[in-house]
Chain A
Amino acid sequence: MHSAKQLTLMSIFLSFLLAIGLWSAAPQQADASDRGPFAITNAQLVTVSNGVVEGGTLVIEDGRITALGTEVDIPAGATVIDAEGKSVYPGMIDSGTRLGVTEVGSISLTQDFNEVGTFNPQMDILTAIHSNSRLIPVNRMAGITTVITEPSGGRISGKAALINLHGYTPSQMHVGDVRLMTLNFPSTGRQGFWDSRSDEEIEREAREAIEEMDKLWDRALQYAEIDSAHAANPDANEAPSYIPKLEAMLPVVRHEMPVMIRVNRAGDIRKALEWIDERGLEHVIFSGLSEGWRVAEELAEAGFPALVGPVVSMPTRQSDRYDRAYENAGLLHDAGVKIALRTGEAANVRNLPFEAGFAAAYGMSKDDALRAVTLAPAEIFGVADELGSLEEGKQASLFIADGDPFEPATEITHLFINGHHVPMESEQTRLYDEFLDRSPGVELHPVD
C-alpha cells in the first residue's frame, strides 16, 4: 500500500510529466548537437556583405565559418554537404518577436511578456525565455536563426534580448549580451474613433505621460551620480539606497544600453524625436514606425536606426493608400533611415521572409530587403562581427535553400544555428508525416 504522502508525491510527479509532455511532445532541439566540421560544397554563397560566390565552398569548424570561396580546402573529417543547385544565406534575424515568451495565445499563464506596472526596467525577458517552446522549431525552419524577443505593456516594459533559436537555456541562446530597454512612447494624439476623450484631456494625458518619463530619467540620473560617486570613492560616499528600477536604468542613462522606442503614429514619432533630443539620448533604436513614411525625412535626419514592421499589415488610416504598410520600410530606407524588419509575431515568425519579399515587391530592392533581415539588424544590435553575413570568423548561423528564400515554394534544406546543425523538423512537420496518409484510414479496426 502507498501512504497518502506517497500518493500525493506521485500525483505531483504525474502532473509534472503531463505538463512536460504537453510542451515537448516532439524533439525540439538537435538530437546530437553536431558541431562539425562541415563543408558545404558547390553552392551559391550569398554573402550579403561581399557579393555572391558561384560554385563556392563554405567550411564550418567549432561553430564558426572558417573559410569560404571557390578555392577552399576541405578539412579532414568534415561532413560534406553537396549543395549543387542550392544557395547558402546568412541566417535571418527577426528584429521584434515574442518567441519563447508565449505558448498559447488565449492562456494568459503561458504568457510572460507583460509584467504588472508602468515602469519595469528591471524586468529581463531572458528570465522568461522558454527554450523548449514548441513555437521555436516551427519558426526557425524558415531560415530564421536569431530574433529579438521583447516584452510589452506599460511605459517601460523591460529589457528585450537577442536570442538564437537553438539552445537549452536562455543564456545558451543569448547572443552578444544584447539587451534593449523597451520603451513604449506615449500616444500623444487621439487613438481612433472610439477614443472619446476631449482634446484637452488628450493633451493633458500626453503631457503627464512625458513628465512621468522625465521624472524617471531625472531620478535615474541622480541615482547614477550617487552610484558613480560611491564607485569613485567608496569610503567618502555612500552607495545609493537600492531602488530596483533606478538600478536597472543605470546602463540606460549611462548610454551603455540602447533604448528601443516603440512608436507608430506620425505625431508620436515627432514628439519622440523632440523628447530624445531634449533628453540627449545617444543610443536609440526605433521599433514599429507604422507611419514612419510620413516623417521619413525627420527620422533620417535624426539618424537613429529603426526596426520596421510588420510589413504585411493594414494601412494605419482609412484614407491611406492600400499598400502603404507594404511600402513603409522601403520609403524609410530610401529616405536614408537604416532599417531592419520585424514581424511582431510569435506563432508566425516564419513569415519573416515573406515580409521581406513584400517589402521588395513594393519598392525595396531584393538586396536591401535581404540586408534588412540579415546584416542590417546585426549592425544595429552591434553584433555584425558575429552575425548577419557569410564571412570568415562569424558564427555559423546560416541556411541552405533550393531557391530564393523569400519565395514560398522554396525549400530550406539545411539549417545551422551558431554552428549546430539543426534538424529540419518540428511538431508541424511531424504531424504532416503522420497524417498525410494516415493509417489506419477510416477502418474501425486496423486491417490484419
Chain B
Amino acid sequence: MFRRHHLYTWAVALVLLFGLHPVQAQTERGDALIQNATVHTVTNGTLENTDILVRDGRIESIGENLSAPGGVRVIDASGKHVMPGIIDAHSHIAISNVNEATRPVTADVGVGDVLNPYDIGIYRALAGGTTTAHVMHGSANAIGGRNQTIKLRYGNLNPEDYRFEGAPPTIKFALGENPMRVHGEGQSIRPRTRMGVEFVIRDAFRQAQEYTAAKEAYANGERTSPPPYSERLEVLADVLAGDIMVHSHSYRADEMLMLMDVIEDFGLTDTFVLQHSIEAFKIAPEIAERGIPVSVFMDWWGFKFEAFNSTAHNAAILIRNGITASIHSDSGDLIRHMYHQAAKSQRYGDLSDDEALALVTINPAIQLGIDDRVGSIEEGKDADLAIFSAHPLSIYAVPQMTLVDGVVRFDRAEDPDDMRLQVNPEGDVQEAYIAEEHDHTHGHGHYGVHDDGIDLFDFLMQP
C-alpha cells in the first residue's frame, strides 16, 4: 500500500512538473542512410544515384557512396525517388475545433490550444508524404484565431510534441462570403458586406494601437492605470508589431486589393500571406509588386459564387509573375496527395518539375517562415523526407516511406491496417463515414466533401 501511495505522489509531482505546463520534451530524432535514390532537392536540381545521410534528425550529407556508422538504419532506395517532406500551408487536421464563430474578431483564441494527437488524419497525411502542416483556424471571422504549424510526429501522445519549434506564430483572417454570411446574414452584425469586412479589420487594428498606446502611457507614468487587460488586443498588438504573421482567406481580387492596402497602411506587408485566393491571378502584377506570397487551391472551384470566376491555371500564372506561390489542401483528403495536386500544375500551366514540386515544399516553407529548416533537401536541414516508388509528379507514384526528423513515421511495407492511437477495446465498432452522404449543397469536392469533420458547425463551414 505504502509503495503504491509513494508512486502516486511521484506521479503527481511529475504531472505538476511537466504535465500541466507546455514544457516540450526533446522530440525523437533519428539516424538513417538512404541509399541510391533519385533525389529531388527542389532547390538544387535532381541528383541520380545519390545517398542521404541523416544524423540526429538532420541531413548531414548528400552525395554518392556515403557510409553509415554502425547501427544506423540503411534504407535501400534504388529505383525510388526522394523529395522533401511535403508542407501543407492550409490544413485543419489534428485539432478538435476549427471555428470560434461567435464574433467578427477572435484573435484571443488559437487552434494550438486544441491539438489532437489522436487524429488518424495525421497518419493518413504522413502516408502521402506530408510532414508539416499549417493548421488553421476557420474562416467565419474577419479576424479569426491563431494558427499552429505542426510536424506530423504521429505516435506521440503529447500535443506539445507536434508544435514546429520556432515556427513564426500566425493568425487567420478571412474576407468575403464566410464572415459576411456568419455575422451579417446570420447575426445581423457587421460585416454583411465587403465594406464591413474592411471596417472590422481596420477598427480592430486601431483599437489595438490605442491599447498599446495606453499601456505605454501607463508605463511612462502618463496614465494612472493600465488599460483593462484584453487577450484579443494583446494578440492584435503582436500582429501590428510584426510578431504574428497574417494568413488571410480570400477569394475575390477586389477584397485582396483591399486587404493589401490595409496591410500596407499598418506596415505589415512583410508578415502577410494570402490564402485560397481564387482570383489572385487577376491581380498578379499588384501582388508581385508588393512581394506577397500566395497559397492557392489547385483546382477547387465553383462551390460558391466567389469561387466561380476561377482557373486551375492560377498557380502557374502566379509563379510566372514572380510570386512565391504554394498549393494547399484545406482538406483531410487532399493533404494525402499533395504531390499529385502539385503535378496538376503541369496540366494547367507549364511549370517545370522543380517549380511544381516547389509548390508543396520550399514555397510553403517560405510562406510559413520555416524555410531555414524544411522545404528542400539540403545539408543541415531537418531530415523530413518522402520516398516514392516513382517520380512524385507521376500519377503512378506511391509514397513508400516518410521520415520526420529522421524518424520513419510511415513505412508502406510495414503498415498495419489500423493505425489509430486510441482504441476502445469494448464497443470498438467503427461506423462507416460516407463522405458523399454529407452532401451539403454548400460544399465542394465530391458533392460536398469537407474534412473528416469534428463538429457540425465545422462541417457547415465552407473553405
Contacts and interface: CB of A to CB of B under 8 A. Distances in A.
Interface of A: 98, 103-108, 111, 114, 134-135, 152, 187, 189-195, 264-266, 288, 290-291, 310, 312-323, 343-348, 350-351, 353-354, 357-358, 360-362, 404, 406-411, 427-429, 431-432, 435-438, 441-442
A321 B442 contact: no
B265 interface: no
B305 A104 contact: yes
B285 A441 contact: yes
A314 B332 contact: yes
A235 to B, nearest CB: 50
A291 B393 CA distance: 28
Interface size grouping (class) on chain B: 35 or more
B449 A313 contact: yes
A48 to B, nearest CB: 18
Nearest to B286: A442
B302 A135 contact: yes
A321 B417 contact: yes
B446 A106 contact: no
A353 B286 CA distance: 36
B398 A361 contact: yes
B420 A318 contact: yes
A105 B378 CA distance: 43
A104 B301 CA distance: 9
B434 interface: yes
Given A192-B432, A319-B418, A319-B423, 19 more contacts: A105-B303, A107-B305, A152-B439, A152-B447, A266-B432, A313-B333, A314-B124, A319-B420, A320-B418, A321-B415, A322-B415, A322-B419, A347-B303, A350-B299, A407-B395, A408-B343, A408-B344, A432-B281, A432-B313
A310 B439 CA distance: 14
A442 B332 contact: no
Contacts of A343: 446
Given A322-B419, A345-B446, A350-B299, A290 B432 contact: yes
A351 B299 CA distance: 9
B234 interface: no
Contact of A195 (B302, B415, B431): B431
Given A344-B447, A438-B285, A322 B395 contact: no
A11 to B, nearest CB: 22
A103 B300 CA distance: 14
Given A266-B432, A318-B430, A435 B284 contact: yes
B304 A106 contact: yes
Contacts of B395: 353-354, 357-358, 360-361, 404, 406-408
Interface of B is mostly: loop
A344 B333 CA distance: 15
B117 to A, nearest CB: 14
B103 interface: no
B189 interface: no
B127 A323 contact: yes
B312 interface: yes
A192 B348 CA distance: 38
Contacts of A429: 311, 313
B158 to A, nearest CB: 21
Interface string B335-346: 011001001101
Nearest to A412: B347
B413 interface: no
Given A319-B418, A354-B395, A442-B289, A105 B444 contact: yes
A94 to B, nearest CB: 12
Contacts of A291: 432
28 contacts: A103-B302, A105-B442, A105-B443, A106-B177, A111-B441, A134-B308, A187-B437, A191-B431, A265-B434, A290-B434, A315-B124, A316-B432, A317-B430, A318-B420, A319-B428, A320-B418, A320-B430, A321-B417, A345-B447, A347-B301, A347-B444, A350-B299, A361-B398, A411-B347, A429-B311, A432-B349, A435-B282, A436-B316
Contacts of A407: 394-395
Contacts of B343: 408-409
Contact of B303 (A106, A187, A314): A106
